[in-house]
Amino acid sequence: MRLKAIGGLLFLLLAVPDTAAAQQQCRLPDRLTVLPCPNLGREEARGQKSDFDHYILSFSWSPVFCAGPAGKRATLQCRDNRFGWIVHGLWPQYATRRAGQLWPQYCGPVQPVPEPVLRRHLCNSPDPRLMQCEWAKHGSCSDFATPDAYFTAQAGVASRLTLPAPQPGQSVQAFTAAVLAANDASHGHDRLERRHLRVIGGPDGIRELRLCLERDLVRYRAC
């Protein structure tokens, strides 16, 4: 994901036109507390590392999240900063259900994501707790040996995309068409098609976009 440092601030430039990008702001705190994912041991562990078929890269529309109950607790994301699309996570997936499940999770013990890695990637996924849990739940099952490699890989995929801002009252179908129009050139990669995307909306508008990828994170695949 493209980031630009201006006067000590990091501004998120992915996902919105240039005029809107200037309004987005990512100011990192002086110190970050490094704690393990609080969900460890509370959710089922299943699967083995690197035993999966493809990835989903999930994006979240921050204004909708921040307007909900969970957003009131997300100080860094929703009170101290302004974001458009953020990266939710990079999720290993099964092509077909295995023991009734579509994905592996918590595939082995991991160390907490170190502060320098959190700081380096926090403007892509602006919640230390989210990053810790994504690494523990999904990164532990991925092809990546370290959290830095995992978060760098998802940022690299995100940097290839232009994601427009959802418009008030916009349907899933209309927003999907807007995404395809904004990414109508292949740029050396597969051309993005409707079958590669899954857009999730609700009464409060478009809130999530999922991109389906092969394990090489270069080729798109049908969702």
Q: What is the per-residue burial (b if ≥16 Cβ within 10 Å, else e) of 207-221?
A: bbbbbbbebebeebb
**138 annotated active-site:** yes
> Are 215 and 143 spatial neighbours (Cβ–Cβ below 8 Å)?
yes
195 secondary structure, DSSP code:
G
Catalytic residue among 88, 187, 208, 214: 88
- Positive or negative, the CA dihedral 177, 181, 182, 187 is positive
Nearest alpha carbon to residue 44 among 143, 109, 137, 133: 137
The pair phi, psi for residue 201, each rounded to 5°, is: -125, 180
Amino acid at 71: G
Catalytic residue among 54, 121, 138, 196: 138
Q: Quote the tokens at residue 66.
A: 């921040």
- How far apart CA 82 and CA 71 sit, in angstroms, is 12
Catalytic residue among 43, 54, 115, 134: 134
> Are 52 and 85 spatial neighbours (Cβ–Cβ below 8 Å)?
no
**134 annotated active-site:** yes
CA distances, 190 to each of 116, 119, 183, 208, 220 (Å): 33, 31, 11, 22, 6
As annotated, the active-site residues are 88, 134, 138
